[in-house]
Every structure is written in structure tokens, then in C-alpha cells.
Amino acid sequence: MADYKGNQCPVCHTPFQEGDDIVVCPDCGTPYHRACWQKVGVCVHQAEHATGFEWRPDNAPAPEEPVCPNCGTHNPVGARFCNHCGVPLPDPDAAGAAAPEPPPIYARPNPGSTANSANAANAAPGAEEGFAGFYRKELGPEDPIDGIKARDWATFVGNSSLYYLMQFFRMEETRHKVSVCFSALFLGPIYFFYRKMWKEGAIFTALTVLLSLPTVIYLLAISQSPLVAWLPGGNWLYILLNVCAVLDWVQMILRCLFAVYWYKKESAQKIRDICARIPDGPAREDALALSGGTSAAAVVIYVVAYLAVIALIVQMMGPNVQAVISLVSL
């Protein structure tokens, strides 16, 4: 039987003594004096049983927060995967066993290999290994991408770091710059501002405004706004509108295909600047996380400004607003 001496009964709050008649809750292991248990008839922690609560001795050391072996993030007690980069966390029950090697961030098969996924599962860990014509390369926390340690990349990127490190590693391996990014395709400048790519966000915002001007002028003309009454007639505006629509699709495709590469290139420069100024350690990690990561505030500012411009355009409409509404609703 476990030694409960010195721990308090949760009902009478009296420390257990040698020879006390003790019973324990079958669900969480909380000890009680038999008389106290019979008195309350239910475990005082019953509401916590569904969350997996387990009783611990009063003098037991508090469980330590698991630290990610990849990025060093402290995670909540009981977490199985890192909340920051997603790699598996060390098993606390395996204390005393040999510390496992940090799991690889990314592993990919040889593109020219015909081996199936079963061969990949059977391959032994290693930086580069062969098995029945199959090889894989793994990226660990200390391995470089463009001369920068993977853990520094992960700290800088923040959200979705596992995805981006996969893409960055693939680009370095294949020397290809193209990577499909649907977020950049559909969100446009919002994507760049969210990723703190201020220059690219400003450029694509300017392009979006410029290529939208013919559409705005066209809508003002349809609404008979006096602001465009001076414009000459003819179908030049309709032609310009279609040309800008095609150019808009071109810039959408460009940012879809090259947004990740631009992000990699700009992030690498920022990380190198930080690493050159700050020695390796917590201060560098804090600087990387502060300079990188994402910015929800920038997205909110962009959306508010966008809605303000839309409201201004509506105010500029002429008396025939119904014609614009009919056109938009088609």
C-alpha cells in the first residue's frame, strides 16, 4: 500500500498517521479516512475526473512543463506535441532512459526513387540513408537552411513554422523558387502584412489600387457621378478595364507562386542581421520572435482602411446608384 503519511485528508484536513484506515478514490487515487469517505460518499474531485485529474502527494514536486527539443518552447503539462512548431515532446515517463535525438523537422524521399512509403517507414534514422533504392534527408534543429539553423528559422517564422521550413528546405535542395501559396493568391496584400512583409504588402496594395481604378471610374460613370463627367466618351474605358483585369490576374498568379520564396529571402536577411548583433541564447530567441512571427494588428488596419475606401467610393457615386447595384448583382 502507498505511504500517505503526512498528507492531508481532503475532508477533515487532518494529516494521515501511521495505522489510519485509509481508502482511495478508484478514479483519481485521492486518499480519505474511511469515516470521511463514508461521510461525504463521493470524491471531492469528482468534477475533475473527466479532465484526467490524478491525485499527487502534498510534498510531491510539481510536474515540469515539457520543453520542445526543436524550438525550446515551454508547453503546458501533459502536452504531447509542441504548441509552437508541432514536433513530438519528450515522454516524461521515460525519465532515466537515454535522451532521444530531436525528431527531424522535415524528411523527404528521393524524387527519382520508385520505393514506396513502406520503405520510408522502415528506414533507420539518419541524415542520409539508403534502403532498397530509397534515401531520405532529414532536417534537425541544428541543420542549416541557407546557412541559418533550422531552430532559428522556426523561432522567427512562428505560426506554421513546420510548413515553411519544409518549403524552405525543398527550395534549397531543388534550387526552385516556385511554391504555390493559396493564402497569397486569395488574400493578396493581407497575407504579406500578416507575415510582416511590409515592402511586399505596400507594393501589392499599390498594384491593387492602380489596377482597380478603371473599375472605380467605370462604376462612377454608370452612376452618373459628376466627378467623371469630364471624361471623353467611347469604349476606351471598357478596354482599359479588361486590360487591368488581366494584369490583376497576372499579379495574383505571381504572388501565389513566389510569395513563399520572397518570404524566405526577406526572413533570411532579418535573421542574419539579428544573429550578427546578438549572441546565441535567450536574447536572440526573443529578438527573432519579436522581429518575425505574424501581425494581426496589421491585418485589422488594412481591412479597416479597405472598408473606409469602399465607403468613400460609395459616397462619390452619382444619382443613378441603382444602375451600379443592378450591375454588381448580375
User: Residue 99 and residue 91: Cα distance in Å, rounded?
Assistant: 10
Give the tens place of pLDDT for each residue, 41-85.
889 888 888 877 888 887 666 667 788 777 677 888 777 777 776
Question: Residue 213: CB partners within 8 Å, gap ≥ 6?
Answer: 244
Task: Retrieve residue 125's grid coordinates.
Answer: 534514422
Question: Residue 210: CB partners within 8 Å, gap ≥ 6?
Answer: none
Alpha-carbon dihedral angle through residues 257, 259, 262, 266, given to the nearest 10 degrees: -170
Which amino acid is present at 101? E
pLDDT at 136: 42
DSSP 120: H
User: Residue 255 and residue 251: Cα distance in Å, rounded?
Assistant: 6
Q: Which long-range contacts (CB under 8 A, 24 or more apart) does 298-302 make?
A: 298/193, 298/194, 298/196, 298/201, 299/190, 299/193, 299/194, 301/193, 302/189, 302/190, 302/193, 302/201, 302/205
What confidence category does residue 110 fall into, taking pLDDT thresholds of 50, 70 and 90?
very low
**What is the full DSSP assignment across 261-326?**
HHHHHHHHHHHHHHHHHS-SSHHHHHHHHHHSS--HHHHHHHHHHHHHHHHHHHHH--S-HHHHHH
- In degrees and rounded to multiples of 5, residue 199 shows phi and psi of -65, -50
Q: How many of the other CB atoms lie within 10 Å of CB of 198?
A: 13
Distance of CA 81 to the CA centre of its chain: 14
Q: Is the pLDDT of residue 290 over 50?
A: yes
What confidence category does residue 203 fall into, taking pLDDT thresholds of 50, 70 and 90?
very high
* Among the listed residues 158, 137, 141, the one whose alpha carbon sits nearest the alpha carbon of residue 150: 141
**CATH code given to domain 1-48:** 3.30.40
Question: Domain coordinates of the chain in residue numbers?
Answer: 1-48, 182-328
Radius of gyration of the chain (CA): 31
Least confident among 85-94, 118-127, 186-195, 251-260 = 118-127
Task: Retrieve residue 42's grid coordinates.
Answer: 463521493
